[in-house]
Amino acid sequence: MPIIPPSSAKPEYDVAIVGSGAGGGQMAMTLTLAGLKCVMLEAGRNYDPRSETPMFQRADQAPLLGTSTPDKVFGFYDATVDGGWQVPGEPYTQASDKFDQQFLWWRARMLGGRTNHWGRISLRNGPYDFKPRSRDGLGFDWPIAYEDVEPYYTKVEQLIGVYGTNEGMENTPDSPPGVLLPAPKGRAAELLIQKHAKKVGVPVIPIHRAVLTQRLDADNVPQKLFPGNAWAQKIVADSMNARAACFWATSCGRGCSTGANYQSTTVHLPPALATGNLDIITNAHAREVLVTAAGKAAGILFIDKTTGKEERVKAKAVVLAASSGETVRLLLNSKSAQFPNGLANSCGLVGRYIMDTVGTRVTGQIPLLENLPPHNEDGAGGDHLYSPWWLYQQQHAGKLGFARGYHIELGGSRGMPGGGDPLPDDLANGTYGSAYKLAARRYYGSFVSMACRGEMIPNDNSFAEIDPTVKDAWGIPVLRWHWLWSENELKMADHAEKTFADIIEAMGGTVRRSGTRLGIGIEQGGKIIHEVGGALMGSDPKTSVCNKWNQCWDVPNLFLSDGTPFPSNADKNPTLTIMALAWRAGDYLVEQARAGKL
């Protein structure tokens, strides 16, 4: 990909975009295909999955057999190159020394951001998810409804390619006919879970994931996405034709050199660059949003990490899509006479109501899966089946004792082993040599896991602020995190663990591990890497940071296109909604630009 140094930047752009992941990538594509000149700033290095993805390397070819380390917590081959929960020279602090009140902040620091690493689960928020307060009196409603976002969900699914099925389940929206790609068949463990989960009333259906099970229809889809724009259609068709269908070669977490899974670096950025309307500056660590004397956004002040020098890009409009934490940090650090409390913060809510996903996990050993013949179950690099939340009516009737819900992500297969112990010590039973090999063949692949991914209700005790003393290696004040799970989330995690144990027992299995190392049955804040919120959208500038178009009330030429504007965090993974809202906001920004209102 062509990358420019700061010295080659244009005197002024139509739009400056901070962040190159799902929101920034989608925004760049939408704007450049409409003819706007854009510059994208990425805090990490350049990354090309076509040349850097270890598609065919086995675990035994990696250091420590590819197992996780403090520097590579998801294993040696994980696509995240330089980032993680800790980034050298870029600390963050905690307001509490209590483990369960601390937030783990994942930063990718590479072109494409988290889209290179994520699980690619692509679930639409349902109608209830946009109006949760109206349903149970808790949290906040969105200023938009499902009907406002539905056309953009469809366009994103057609662009990136999402497999799955339509099941007609409550608050689990179907896609229009012909939009979803064929779902892969469940693996043996998933099919066994599906069969026995019925006994405890839990549905298991094909999941929606951004992986191509067949090539995209490049002859017809671009015309639907960009009607009347033959130039854009040609560019998008060429980009689609450059992607191959998945051939089950490797874990999606490594990235994909053939473009079979969705990454911003293979789906959004190539067509944006092909327009000639996008410049990308990597190693550009944004410090603050520049503003004019009239209080409008005028560009970005950033640090060139390769030289350590301050640089600037000027633009008529600014889009922040750097992740909720980083966008909050930028807004709060962008102080001026017009904005003494941080940019776009007249309501005092920037940094407030940050949410993550409720997570807990149960594993079990299943005798029915012992001694399976060796076979390849790598599949699509992630879940083929899952359980959407199924207890809406019981919950609405007040029978569960907690609000909102969770979906279940399933694990269990005979994938190629890595550096972990293929046979737990208690099952090895002290054997060695040929007896150990027999035991390993018996038990390998007989383990299943079920993970809760649930909704967190925003609360006053979970937020981020600027640390008053600590700065990063470039002298930029860092974030200080406050975190607290409510009783609602703890009860949800308890319900999930009991449900998972019931399913494992229905399979004739034995629960081996339940809960998390917090000791309270729930993962640490940030561990699921789904942080959203911090600059909520709403209908009133006194109680929200931006409007229904992701446009800041105080600064109308400043847009937030990551998870920052989310008023709630449904049990559906947020990335598809981030992209849909970014496309929607991008269309609105184009209209505003053409009308001369920016």
User: Letter for the amino acid at 430?
Assistant: G
H helical segments located in 444-484: none
Return the higher-pLDDT residue of 75 and 167: 167
What is the model's pLDDT at position 518? 47
H helical segments located in 53-141: 127-130, 132-136
Distance CA 305, CA 17 (A): 18
Per-residue model confidence as pLDDT tens digits over 96-153: 999 999 999 999 999 999 999 899 999 999 999 999 999 999 999 999 999 999 999 9
What is the model's pLDDT at position 425? 87
Distance CA 337, CA 293 (A): 9
For residue 89, name the pLDDT band (cuts at 50, 70, 90): very high
Mean pLDDT of 357-378: 92
Q: Is 360 in contact with 452 (CB distance < 8 Å)?
A: yes
Per-residue burial over 510-530, b = 16 or more CB atoms within 10 Å of its CB, e = otherwise: ebbebbbebebbbbbbbbbbb
Over 50: is that where the pLDDT of 402 sits? yes
Per-residue model confidence as pLDDT tens digits over 201-233: 999 999 999 999 999 999 999 999 999 999 999
How is residue 408 annotated by DSSP?
E
Residue in 252, 342, 361, 387 with CA at minimum distance from that of residue 534: 342
How is residue 177 annotated by DSSP?
T
Per-residue model confidence as pLDDT tens digits over 411-470: 998 877 777 778 888 998 889 999 999 999 999 999 999 999 999 999 999 999 999 999
Mean pLDDT of 312-331: 98
What is the model's pLDDT at position 138? 97
Distance CA 229, CA 526 (A): 41
Fold agreement between 1-51+63-164+207-356+460-482+531-598 and 177-206+358-454+484-524: no
The 3-state DSSP class for residue 195 equals: helix
Mean pLDDT of 37-54: 96
Q: Is 581 in contact with 550 (CB distance < 8 Å)?
A: yes
Distance CA 464, CA 351 (A): 5
Residue in 324, 317, 318, 300 with CA at minimum distance from that of residue 565: 324
Q: Is 493 in contact with 526 (CB distance < 8 Å)?
A: no
What is the model's pLDDT at position 51? 93
For the domain bounded by 177-206+358-454+484-524, which CATH number is listed?
3.30.410
At 389, give phi and psi (nearest 5°).
-60, 135
Q: What is the DSSP string of 500-558?
A: HHHHHHHTT-EEEEES-TTSSSSPPBTTTS--B-SS-B-S-TTT-SB-TTSBBSS-TTE
Residue in 157, 155, 169, 178 with CA at minimum distance from that of residue 127: 169
* % of the chain surpassing 70 pLDDT: 99
What is the model's pLDDT at position 516? 59
The domains of the chain are located at 1-51+63-164+207-356+460-482+531-598, 177-206+358-454+484-524
Over 90: is that where the pLDDT of 521 sits? no
The 3-state DSSP class for residue 16 equals: strand
What is the model's pLDDT at position 520? 66
Residue 236: alpha-carbon gap to chain centroid? 23
Mean pLDDT of 151-159: 98
Residue in 347, 317, 361, 298 with CA at minimum distance from that of residue 513: 361
Distance CA 282, CA 8 (A): 13
Residues 6+ apart with CB under 8 A from 213: 163, 181, 182, 183, 184, 245, 246, 380
What is the model's pLDDT at position 551? 98
pTM: 0.97
Mean pLDDT of 263-289: 98
User: Letter for the amino acid at 534?
Assistant: G
Topology of domain 1-51+63-164+207-356+460-482+531-598, per CATH? FAD/NAD(P)-binding domain (3.50.50)
Over 60: is that where the pLDDT of 1 sits? no
What is the model's pLDDT at position 422? 81
Per-residue model confidence as pLDDT tens digits over 550-567: 999 999 999 999 999 999
For residue 513, name the pLDDT band (cuts at 50, 70, 90): confident
Mean confidence (pLDDT) of the chain: 95
Other CB atoms closer than 10 Å to residue 578's CB: what's the count? 26
285 beta partners: 303
Mean pLDDT of 513-527: 76
What is the model's pLDDT at position 515? 65
What is the model's pLDDT at position 318? 98
What is the model's pLDDT at position 127? 98
Distance CA 483, CA 462 (A): 4
Other CB atoms closer than 10 Å to residue 100's CB: what's the count? 16
Q: Which two tokens stand for residue 52?
A: 């850097």
H helical segments located in 412-556: 425-428, 434-443, 487-506
Angle 370-376-381 from CA coordinates, rounded to 5°: 110
H helical segments located in 409-530: 425-428, 434-443, 487-506
User: Letter for the amino acid at 279?
Assistant: D
Over 70: is that where the pLDDT of 519 sits? no
